[in-house]
Amino acid sequence: MSTPEFNEEHRDALQEVANVAMGEAGAKLAELLGTFVRLSVPRIEISAATQVPDILGKLLGSDNAVTAVRQSFLSRIQGEAIVLFGEAGCAELADLMGYEGAFASAQRREVLLDIANVLVGACLGGVFRQLGLELGYSAPSLLAENTLADRVIHTESLNWRRALLVEVNFRLEQGAFSSHLVILLPEHSIDRLRESLEQMMATL
C-alpha cells in the first residue's frame, strides 16, 4: 500500500538504503560470530497499524510460539524495533557470542536480548547512517515469551494509525537459528523519514 506522502519513489529509495545496510550488517555479524550468516532482502511495507499483528502472524506462522524483544531507537526519527525468535538454535548462537556454562532461562533471555541488540544496531545503524542520522538506543527488553506471533503486539496499545514495517530474516548458514527483525515507525516518523530520503535523493 502506498500513500500520497510515502510513494513508490520513497519506497524504492528506502529499499536501496536498506539493501546496502543489510549487506554491511551481514558482513559485520559474520565477523563478530565467526560464521556465515544470511540476512534476507528487507521487505518494506506501509500498513494500517491495526494490521501489524496479522502481518507478524503471516510472517512467522500463527501457530508458532515466539519470544519477542523490543528496543526503541531515537534521533529525529523514532520508532521501535522488534526481534522475533523461534525456539531453535539458540544455544548454538549463545556459544558463538561467548556465553558459557549452563543454558538456564535467565541466560537464554540475556542471549536473546544481546542478539536483538546486535541485530538492531547493525541493521538500523546502517540504514540511518546513510541518511546522515546517528541513532540513540534504549536498552532492549522482553516484550513477550512463548507467545503466538500474532499476539505479540496488542493493537489497543498502538496510538498511531499507520506503520512502516521493515522486515529482515536473519539466520545462521549452519544450524537452525533464525530470527526476524521488524522495524516499526509511527506516522510522524514516517514523515521525517520521507524528508530524509528526499534530501538524500537530491544529493545523488
Partner 1 sequence: MNVLERPELLEFIVDRANVGIFALDREMRVLLWNRFMADHSGRGAESVVGRNLFQCFPDLPRRWLEKKISGVFLLKNFAFTSWEQRPYLFRFPHGRPVTGGIDFMQQSCTFLPMLDAAGGVDAVCVTLVDATDTAIAHRKLEGALATVRESAQCDGLTGVFNRRRLEERLSEEFYRVRRYGGPLSLVMFDIDHFKRVNDVHGHLAGDEVLRIIAARVAAAVRASDVLGRYGGEEFCVVLPGTELAGARIVAEKLRELIASEPVVYKDVALDITISCGAAQAAAEHTVWDELVRIADAALYRAKGEGRNRVCS
| One of 39, 77, 118, 168 touching partner 1 (CB under 8 A) | 118
User: Between β-strands 78-85 and 136-137, what pairing exists: parallel, antiparallel or unpaired?
Assistant: unpaired
| One of 45, 54, 114, 187 touching partner 1 (CB under 8 A) | 114
78 in contact with partner 1 (CB under 8 A): no
Backbone angles phi, psi at 42, to 5 degrees: -60, 140
Q: Round to whole Å and give the CA distance between 131 and 20.
A: 12
Q: Please state the closest distance from residue 145 (CB atom) to partner 1, in A.
A: 13
Identify residues 122-141 at the interface with partner 1 (CB under 8 A): 122, 125, 136-137, 139-141
Segment near partner 1 (CB under 8 A); pick from 42-50, 121-129, 149-157, 175-183 = 121-129
Q: Round to whole Å and give the CA distance between 136 and 21.
A: 17
74 in contact with partner 1 (CB under 8 A): no
Burial tier of 115 (Cβ tally within 10 Å: 0-12, 13-18, 19+): buried
Residues 43 and 86 sit within 8 Å (Cβ to Cβ): no
Residues that bind partner 1 (CB under 8 A): 28-29, 31-32, 97-100, 106-107, 109-110, 113-114, 117-118, 121-122, 125, 136-137, 139-141
